[in-house]
Amino acid sequence: LKPFWLKSAPVGCALGRPFLQHTRAMAAAWWYYEVAPGKVLPYPDEEGVELENLYQENKRQQGFSKVTLVSGKYQYEIDFGQMIQTNRQTMRTRGIQRRQNPRHRELLDQLAEKDQVIGQLGGQLHNAQTDAMTAERLPPQQ
């Protein structure tokens, strides 16, 4: 399985830690796994982002299925219906949690504003380039 950010990243985009951290901050939700009763830890950025993508895909398909998540040398079966993960080698089962990102809507609104500004600037740049090309083709005025 390819994480969604590899599928959608622009060609030549460097996908380092800052990109993953930014992607996690923008995610609709964050994912956690249970290490002891009442104690959870966050999934690493890459796996958390991939889990959210798989969750959203399953949600769109009108029902939750079991999916596979690879984390390091381990493979886990994730059951979104029961909210558990099962280590395929050891068969150990842990609870998982999905917590809504409280800033998700605000961040999407900020991105939409930035996209609008970029679109306006792109239009202005296009107009300036067109004007410059037109001016180059006109005969000199006397």
Spatial distance between the Cα atoms of 49 and 29, rounded to a whole number of angstroms: 9
Digit-coded pLDDT (tens) for 104-127: 566 666 666 766 777 777 777 767
CATH number of 4-101: 3.30.720.50
pTM: 0.58
Digit-coded pLDDT (tens) for 56-90: 888 888 777 889 988 889 999 999 999 999 999 99
Domain ranges of the chain: 4-101, 103-142
